[in-house]
Structure 1
Amino acid sequence: MSHHSSLEPIYSTLQRCFIGIGLISNLILINLIIFRSPKDLGLYKYLMAYIICFELFYIILEFLTVPDLLTLDYAFFIIVDPEKSLLPENWSQVADLIYCGAFAVSLVIFGCQFAYRYHVLKGNSSWTASTPRNFIFWLGTQAVLASFYSYFVHAFMQRNDYSKKIMKNVGYTDYRIESVGFIGLIFYPKLDNGTQIINWQSFIGVSVTTATLFASEFTMIYFAYKCFQATKSFINQSGCSSKFRRLQWQLFYALVAQAIIPILFMQIPMTMIYTSTIVLRRSIPAIGHLQSMTISIYLAIDALPTILIIKPYRDTVIRSLFFWKKRKVAPYQTNSSNSKQQHASWTNF
């Protein structure tokens, strides 16, 4: 039986299209953050730029590796195949580990961002001041967690005799089994006599990695709620202009939208994989293809909420798209105060 699907060329084409969209949208956003950000964002501006740089790295990694997510019965593999990858063969295993670490960072990174926003709103300057210590803490936490995640993936999800049998059953030759980058989980392998056993190594690996992701999600939800409360309290204080209040809500809503996207397109499909392989033991290749596609969709659209919700960014994009209308509209705006009010009513968030 071959592991290749007749739809695989379509999957690969769609993935590359989404990668191209993600590359363009993230390049636009990082330029907006650098050149069009409000002056009072402080260190948060660099944290936003850090997220975009990470997503650009993830996009490039996805483009270079084009990983296959193979799900079958009680097994789940992440494979970087040199025949599809643009990297040298001896880089395949390292690229696979980095890819898994990037998956973890995509969820961890927003918990850190919510936590930072919360400390800004509470006025905890010791955590938010632009000092070397804070730069290292806020920008380095994700790298530490990714390294921790990748270490356990490497320790407990290596190829073994069980994985080789399954890969042979789905069409891989002995040479390709050894040449591909491989990360895999086989929960209930079968012995030569047909007896099915529990592979505790896979269960330990998935327990550690899943606990890491759940801890990051709990942190994100906790600080998201605290951030919501702090935002309401902060903008109700006297002395805040309406423009500043709108900006605080825009930053909050943009961050919420950015955090929801990886949960919808990465964590939920991954939960489906674990359910079908661990609980049901009846996973099918289509679920792995779905996860591959949703990761590409996440990379394509995650920058869009920030571009569309934060008004200085949105206005810059609109002006760029409709630059030829600028001079025609200007005389009407200057001649009528009513038209100014109408313009403000739909451009304000």
Structure 2
Amino acid sequence: MYSTLEIFLVPIHYTVRTTSVVMVHVSDKLLPLLPLRILNSVYWAFFGSSLAIFALQFIYRYLTISMNKMIKTFYSWKIVLWLLIPIVNGIIWGLMGICLCRPTKESTEYLRPYVLKDFKTDIDEFDYLGGLMYLKLNDGSFKFYFNTLLTITVMSVIVSFSFVVIIFCGSKCYLMISEMNAITSSSACSQKLQSQLFYALVFQTLIPVLLLHFPISVMFGFVLTDHGLGIYSSIVSITISLYPAIDPLPNFFIISPYRKAAFRCIKRVHPMTDNSINQAPPNSKNVAAPAINNTV
């Protein structure tokens, strides 16, 4: 659903100085403005949920490998409490978007010349969620926009917390798998599988960090320091889109059972036969002569 919504909306992350918005082009959409704005907030909710899901995956891996007694909570009714974390997180992100970051006349007029310059399109062709965080006035004082500032602050805290959980649990799993590989007396096949799981874990730790946490953190950091990245903020839209496609690849290419299963599926879809290689063309002159029977 997240990917489908992203394909439909084609959200554009855009920052200008202290302004951060997620824009949706409305003129090429069949839906009216209000449903598009709601869907934009749902997009925010999905992204917030995904950050919690990533952290939850690493918590589960850590508890499993360390054989912590809390792993039992994933096999009882208490798993509902774990599953509520991404749901609640998504609701928070969605409500902040639709309630605190609706378009305002001031933000729209502030963005108008920048959008026209970067996209060659008037801002009225877009709907957005987000806005100004603060402005430095001519007299040197600051005007704060607390709704947007609160939203960015909460989002930054959640992104940072998710990042810390992933790094902590990923590092712990890394060390424990290394220790198991060093002291284990299991078969070579088992050690090979453990090593593959180890490298898959490394890549699956790096992928969300590089494609989600790092770009978002950099973008928010520039906005907070009055140095919005302008059209280059769209890189965040690209990295977010890439994540769902890239995330499962380490398992398919590193872990041999998954890799073999994937290749078998590919061969079934595109079967390769050698019949055409072994058979001579109909008009070929390279036809074997019939055997001569010398018997009388």
Counterpart of 1:108 (choices 52, 62, 68) is 52
1:228 Cα shift?
Answer: 1.8
Distance in 2 (CA, whole Å) between partners of 1:132 and 1:86 is 45
- The amino acid that maps onto 1:304 is L
Q: CA 1:90–1:163 in 2, change beyond 3 Å: closer, same or farther?
A: same
1:125 Cα shift?
Answer: 5.6
CA contact (8 A) 1:250 1:310 kept: yes
Distance in 2 (CA, whole Å) between partners of 1:86 and 1:194 is 45
Moved more, 128-137 or 226-235: 128-137
Indicate whether 1:221 and 2:162 are aligned: no
Q: CA 1:257–1:238 in 2, change beyond 3 Å: closer, same or farther?
A: closer
Distance in 1 (CA, whole Å) between partners of 2:217 and 2:23 is 19
Distance in 2 (CA, whole Å) between partners of 1:326 and 1:136 is 50
Question: How much is the aligned-residue C-alpha RMSD, in angstroms?
Answer: 3.4
SS where residue 133 of structure 1 aligns? coil
* 1:310 aligned partner: 255
* 2:243 aligned partner: 298
Distance in 2 (CA, whole Å) between partners of 1:282 and 1:238 is 52
* 2:4 aligned partner: 60
Counterpart of 1:140 (choices 61, 73, 84) is 84
Distance in 2 (CA, whole Å) between partners of 1:102 and 1:245 is 38
Q: How many residues align?
A: 268
Distance in 2 (CA, whole Å) between partners of 1:190 and 1:161 is 18
- The amino acid that maps onto 1:287 is Y
The Cα offsets for residues 209-255 of structure 1, whole Å up to 9 and x where unpaired, read as 10111111111111112212232344556574443443344334323
- The amino acid that maps onto 2:213 is Q
Counterpart of 2:196 (choices 225, 244, 250) is 250
SS where residue 134 of structure 2 aligns? coil
| Structure 1 unmatched runs, 5+ | 1-56, 329-349
| Structure 2 unmatched runs, 5+ | 276-296
CA contact (8 A) 2:174 2:202 kept: no
* 1:183 aligned partner: 129
More helix as a share of residues: 1
* 1:335 aligned partner: none
CA contact (8 A) 1:152 1:209 kept: no
1:327 Cα shift?
Answer: 9.3
* 1:287 aligned partner: 232
* 2:41 aligned partner: 97
Moved more, 286-295 or 318-327: 318-327
CA contact (8 A) 1:80 1:96 kept: yes
**Percent identity between the two aligned chains:** 25
Distance in 2 (CA, whole Å) between partners of 1:147 and 1:161 is 26
Counterpart of 1:123 (choices 67, 88, 97) is 67
CA contact (8 A) 2:111 2:123 kept: no
1:130 Cα shift?
Answer: 6.3
Q: CA 1:224–1:284 in 2, change beyond 3 Å: closer, same or farther?
A: closer
- The amino acid that maps onto 2:204 is Q
* 2:279 aligned partner: none
The Cα offsets for residues 301-337 of structure 1, whole Å up to 9 and x where unpaired, read as 2222221112111112223445656999xxxxxxxxx
Tell me which structure has the larger Cα radius of gyration.
2
Structure 2 length-normalised TM: 0.75
Counterpart of 2:151 (choices 200, 205, 211) is 205
1:282 Cα shift?
Answer: 3.8
Distance in 2 (CA, whole Å) between partners of 1:255 and 1:105 is 21
* 2:100 aligned partner: 156
- The amino acid that maps onto 1:116 is Y
Distance in 2 (CA, whole Å) between partners of 1:210 and 1:130 is 28
1:186 Cα shift?
Answer: 0.9
Distance in 2 (CA, whole Å) between partners of 1:163 and 1:326 is 63
